Amino acid sequence: MRAARWYGAGDIRVEELPDPTPGPGQVKIQVKWCGICGTDLSEYQHGPMLVPAKRPHPGTGKQAPVTLGHEFSGDIVELGEGVTNLGIGERVTVWPLLPCFKCYWCLRGRYNECLTLGTIGLAADGAFANYVIAPSYGVHRLPEEVSYEAGTFAEPLAVVVRACKRGGISLGDTVAITGAGPIGLLALQAARGAGAGRIYVVEPQARRRELALKLGATAAFDPTQVDAGKEIARLTDNIRANVVMECSGVPAAIQSTLALSGRCAKIVMVGISSTPVEFPFDRLLFHEKEITTVQGYVDEYPAALSLLASGEVVVEPLISARIRLEDIVAGGFEALAHHPEDHIKILVSPL
C-alpha cells in the first residue's frame, strides 16, 4: 500500500509499505478520505510535537517514522480475531484515541487524560494510507445520511461538541468565537445547535468571515480593523458574551477573550498556542469569570455524528480542496503552510 510517512519537520514521504494485518480486537479499514488537521500541519512545520521521535511511545511502542492522519472514514475490509460487533463492508469513522484503560484517569472515564495516551496517526500509523488498523472499540458506523467526506469531520466536530459542553452553552446564550478556521466554523454550528442565541465571530480573514455569516453567525468582526469587544458590548447592551470559545491558538486572540466576555462568563480554550500567553488574572477574579479547556473528546462522537446526520452541521462549505495522496506534500501541507488564506480543510484520498 501507499502511505504518507512523517520522518521529521518538513520531511513527509509517500512510500510503499506492506498492507497491515489486524490483530485481535482490531479491524482493517480501507481509507476513503482523511482530513489534514492543524496538528498534522504543526508536526510538518515544527515537529516532533506529539509524534514519538526519540524513543518509542510508552503506550503503543511506536517510534517515527509514522503514518499521519486521524480524521478519516472508510470501509471495513478485514476483522481481527474476536471482533463480533462489526462487519466487513460497513462504512465507518474512528475515535482515534488509544488509552490504556488502566490508569487513574482511564478508570474514571477520562480517557483523553490517560497517562500514556496515544492517538492513531501520531503514536500509531494513521490514515494517510490505503489502509489503517484501528481497535474495534473506537469504530463508529456512519449514518446513511453522512458521506465519507462528511465522516472525516466527526473527529474535529467531537472536539467542539465537548467545548460546548465544557462552556455550558444554554438556550439563548450569547457566544463569541475567536478564529474561523475548521474548528471555529464547526464551533459556530455546534453552538447554534446547543441553543445559542447570538453568535459573534472574530476572524481577520475576509473569506472566513463571509463563510461564518453564511453558516449562521450574527456578525463577524475583523480584529485588525475594529475593537470586537466594544462592538459586542454595543450590540448586547454591554452584557457581552456569556461564553467565549477561543479556537485560533493565537496569543492576541487568547488575550482578547477577556474583552469579549461579560461578567460571570465562561471562556473555553480550544485552540493551542505554541508560545506562553500573559493573562491578567484580576480581570477574571473581579468578574467571576471562569476559564476551562478542552483536550480532545471522550464520548462526544455519537453526538457529532448525529449533528452531521441531521444537517444541523454542514461541512461541504469547509472543504477547500480534495487531493490525492501523492500530492499531500505540495497540494496539502505546503498549501496550508504558505497559502492559509486559500484553505479551510483539505481532504486527502489514497484511492
Query: Residues 6 or more apart from 217 whose CB is under 8 A from it?
Result: 177, 188, 199, 200, 201
Provide the pLDDT for residue 280: 87
Cα–Cα dist 22/115, whole Å: 25
Cα–Cα dist 300/293, whole Å: 15
Asked whether the CA dihedral 25, 31, 35, 37 is positive or negative, the reply is positive
Beta carbons of 173 and 196 less than 8 angstroms apart:
yes
Q: Could you give all domains of the chain from N- to C-terminal order, each with its CATH number?
A: 2-153+315-349 (3.90.180.10), 156-293 (3.40.50.720)
**185 φ, ψ (degrees, to nearest 5):** -70, -30
> pLDDT in tens for each of the 351 residues of the chain?
999 999 999 999 999 999 999 999 999 999 999 999 999 999 999 999 999 999 999 999 999 999 999 999 999 999 999 999 999 999 999 999 999 999 999 999 999 999 999 999 999 999 999 999 999 999 999 999 999 999 999 999 999 999 999 999 999 999 999 999 999 999 999 999 999 999 999 999 999 999 999 999 999 999 999 999 999 999 999 999 999 999 999 999 999 999 999 999 999 999 998 889 998 888 888 999 999 999 999 999 999 999 999 999 999 999 999 999 999 999 999 999 999 999 999 999 998
Asked whether the CA dihedral 107, 111, 114, 120 is positive or negative, the reply is positive
Q: How many CB atoms lie within 10 A of CB 32?
A: 23
Q: What is the dihedral of CA 155, 261, 221, 312, to 10 degrees?
A: 40
Cα–Cα dist 96/242, whole Å: 32
Cα–Cα dist 140/314, whole Å: 19
Question: Kindly report the CA angle at 316 between 126 and 306, in degrees rounded to 5?
Answer: 75
Instruction: For the chain, report the end-to-end CA distance as a whole number of angstroms.
Output: 10
Cα–Cα dist 46/161, whole Å: 28
Provide the pLDDT for residue 274: 81
**pTM > 0.85:** yes
